[in-house]
Amino acid sequence: MKVSDNKLDQALARQKPGVEPRPADEFWADFKARARLRTQDAPARPRQALAWVTPLACAAALVLAVGVYMLSPPRDINGDVIKSVEVVASHSAVFIMEDKESKSAIVWIVDMETDPGNGGDT
């Protein structure tokens, strides 16, 4: 059996006993009397030490970043560049050729003597 919303509201209103609200003066007097039974502590102040945590953390991170930057080895703006090569074996010349477009380098060692035992040419 389906009851319409209107009939349901009316049926519930008939079943619910009527509750009269208390007068405002009586309600607030009772409220204040109950509030006096429990001690009302003042709200706790936020800790002042916590107010400095964020600025100190930011300053520490900044000091760390500057330290890492200052202690890191210098880098060439154009990337890694071969500036010199030390060749221990006997040779007549060393050429270093760079191609900036492909970002590559060729190290050419002329007339380098190799040990035949290592599979090299003499």
Going from N- to C-terminal start, the domains of the chain cover 48-72+80-118
Q: Chain centroid to CA 78: how far?
A: 30
pLDDT over 70 percentage in the chain: 77
DSSP string for residues in the chain = ----HHHHHHHHHHHSPP-PPPPHHHHHHHHHHHHHHS--PPPPPPPHHHHTHHHHHHHHHHHHHHHHHHHSPP--TTS---------S--SEEEEEEETTTTEEEEEEET----GGGT---
pLDDT for the residue numbered 27: 92
- For the record, the structure tokens of 101 come out as 């477009």
Asked if residue 65 has pLDDT above 80, the reply is yes
Give residue for tokens 């519930």. Answer: 12
Question: Would the pTM count as exceeding 0.75?
Answer: no
Q: Give the pLDDT confidence of 69-97 residue by residue, as tens digits.
A: 888 776 655 556 777 788 888 888 888 88
Looking at residue 34, the DSSP 8-state letter turns out to be: H
Q: Give the pLDDT confidence of 18-54 residue by residue, as tens digits.
A: 677 789 999 999 998 888 887 767 777 766 666 778 8
CB neighbours of residue 67 within 10 Å = 10
